[in-house]
Chains A and B, each alone.
Chain A
Amino acid sequence: ELKVEQNPLFLSMQEGKNYTIYCNYSTTSDRLYWYRQDPGKSLESLFVLLSNGAVKQEGRLMASLDTKARLSTLHITAAVHDLSATYFCAVDLDNNNDMRFGAGTRLTVKP
């Protein structure tokens, strides 16, 4: 059974600091997604990573994928309060649109 594990599950950081969220998964897949969810809201797509070594950046967020290690990272640079949200990674099981999500990382950025 596919397992998708994120860590940390809770992250409190100060503005201006850097940090990395990790997403490990237990089966072969070369499609990985990162989503953001604000409280009471739906999921917003951040990144779609479709191959080994893929790296994408948007503003202060950068995501990468290592399919051999079955690991994706979401790196936060110089955090700002607006980044406070829950971040989910999701893996496409068997590359057939069956997405399995991690439990999420609840990020709080404090001034």
Chain B
Amino acid sequence: GAGVSQSPRYKVAKRGQDVALRCDPISGHVSLFWYQQALGQGPEFLTYFQNEAQLDKSGLPSDRFFAERPEGSVSTLKIQRTQQEDSAVYLCASSIGPFVYEQYFGPGTRLTVT
């Protein structure tokens, strides 16, 4: 079956623009995660959904970052008024359920803010 997919794969935005990044998890996966990975660093947790409920958003770096998963499947990470420090790869991962631990990662969206 298909894995986690993300779109777009690459996004260039001018500073101040809003962007929306999409994640399609593996079908039937209850849990969905967003991570930010800066160049040469490990992924950093942003937020976590269980179905449509956002259970943890403690990693979102500012109120410019917003994530949603309205129907419990596809998720969108929105960044408003992008800044250069937002440049990173944004990774989405999903897992079967909250008590099944293995997370499957998508290919990521590389965001460059100029």
- Taking a contact as CB atoms under 8 Å apart, the answer to whether B101 and A103 are in contact is no
- Taking a contact as CB atoms under 8 Å apart, the answer to whether B31 and A104 are in contact is no
- Taking a contact as CB atoms under 8 Å apart, the answer to whether A97 and B31 are in contact is yes
| In the bound complex, CA of A22 to CA of B48 (Å) | 27
List B residues 24-53 near A (Cβ within 8 Å). 31, 33, 35, 40-45, 48
- Taking a contact as CB atoms under 8 Å apart, the answer to whether A42 and B101 are in contact is no
Question: Is A25 interfacial (CB 8 A cutoff)?
Answer: no
Interface string of A78-111 (1 = CB under 8 A from B): 0000000000101010001111111110000000
| In the bound complex, CA of A4 to CA of B46 (Å) | 17
- Taking a contact as CB atoms under 8 Å apart, the answer to whether A45 and B56 are in contact is no
Residues of A within 8 A of B48 (CB): 97-98
Residue of A nearest to B106 (CB): A42
- Taking a contact as CB atoms under 8 Å apart, the answer to whether A99 and B107 are in contact is no
Question: Is B77 interfacial (CB 8 A cutoff)?
Answer: no
Residue of B nearest to A104 (CB): B42
- Shortest beta-carbon distance from A58 to chain B in Å: 14
Question: Is A50 interfacial (CB 8 A cutoff)?
Answer: yes
| In the bound complex, CA of A42 to CA of B33 (Å) | 14
Interface residue ranges, B against A (CB under 8 Å):
31, 33, 35, 40-45, 48, 56, 58-59, 91, 93, 95, 98, 101-108
Give the top 9 A-B pairs by smallest Cβ distance, nearest first: A101-B42, A43-B105, A42-B105, A42-B107, A101-B43, A103-B42, A104-B42, A88-B42, A48-B101
Interface residue ranges, A against B (CB under 8 Å):
4, 31, 33, 35, 41-45, 48, 50, 88, 90, 92, 96-104
